[in-house]
Amino acid sequence: METNIKLMSETAYLTLQKNPEDVLKAIQAHPKDSSWLKEYLGFEPFEEKEYRIRNFEFLNREINEATIIEDSIVLYEHLKQLPRYILCDPKFWAWITFEKAYLLAQKLASLSTSLISSTWLITSTRSSLMQGIISHLFFMIQISVDETREDKYELSRYLFTNKETYRNLCYRNMGMLKNVTLAVIRAQRDISEKAGILLLSKQSAAMVKEASKIGSVMLMDVMTQEEIYDIVYPKFIQIVLDDYEAQKQKTE
């Protein structure tokens, strides 16, 4: 069954952005659904658009890493065909968040005024879009799904265990280059699995920073995933070894 997508109206969006305290109180008072929006605003909050998607809903269940990944894949599969200008419109994600993912959004993070302002009612900047309470689930899959693999979500599952890498990619232009993100994530996953370790946050951050240096001397957008992987993999190993040696010296 298909349905037309919706966008929150400009007036509704600006009104909610200016009144995050009211939004927080309303969500807390009405945790089951967002029907309060129309009464609060005094008009219909959403506008129907011409694009159609397969209808979907999230299951109301316990939140853990496995269920979050499952819900993220559902979100991605139902929205991936939409044009970029829709996927990069905060008003589209407001519809998804307040109507389709209202219960899920409340479970993902403890509510606060700052959280409402920064992740429920996001701005149009790339970093904000990639870190929205629901939009980040879509973009985490988008930058890590690999259609060439038998299990195309293999790297996605690893990325969900290493949020530091995702956060760092959000703030760097190379985070928009799929060949780069796949190479970085794959190199980290391979090192983690072969060494039998979980990468530390500072190691993951250092690896993304090291990968970004390639862009200053090469055209990353025309390099293949394999070419980038071959460059970053030994550099990432060295980061882990250097960090291990530094920690060893501190204990001696």
**pLDDT tens-digit readout, 156-199:** 999 999 999 999 999 888 888 999 999 999 999 999 999 998 89
CA distances 133 to 78, 181, 203, Å, are: 17, 21, 25
- Where is pLDDT greater, at 219 or 139? 139
User: At 134, is the pLDDT very low, low, confident or very high (cuts 50, 70, 90)?
Assistant: very high
CA-nearest of 156, 246, 252, 170 to 203 is 246
Mean pLDDT of 44-49: 97
Q: Is 252's pLDDT higher than 80?
A: no
Q: Is 220's pLDDT higher than 90?
A: no
User: At 218, is the pLDDT very low, low, confident or very high (cuts 50, 70, 90)?
Assistant: low
CA-nearest of 131, 104, 103 to 117 is 131
The 3-state DSSP class for residue 172 equals coil
Cβ atoms of residues 111 and 105 within 8 Å? no
- In this predicted structure, what is the pLDDT of residue 216? 65
- In this predicted structure, what is the pLDDT of residue 245? 82
User: At 219, is the pLDDT very low, low, confident or very high (cuts 50, 70, 90)?
Assistant: confident
Q: For the ranges 23-37, 146-160, 234-248, which has the lowest average pLDDT?
A: 234-248
Alpha helices in 144-214 (DSSP H): 154-159, 163-170, 178-195, 201-214
Q: What is the pLDDT of residues 87-119, one digit of tens each?
A: 999 999 999 999 999 999 999 999 999 999 999
DSSP secondary-structure letter at 152? T
Burial class (CB in 10 A: 0-12, 13-18, 19+), 193: exposed
Strands 46-54 and 2-8: antiparallel
Q: What is the pLDDT of residues 51-73, one digit of tens each?
A: 999 999 888 788 999 999 999 99
CA distances 32 to 77, 84, 115, Å, are: 25, 30, 19
CA-nearest of 60, 90, 91, 97 to 75 is 97
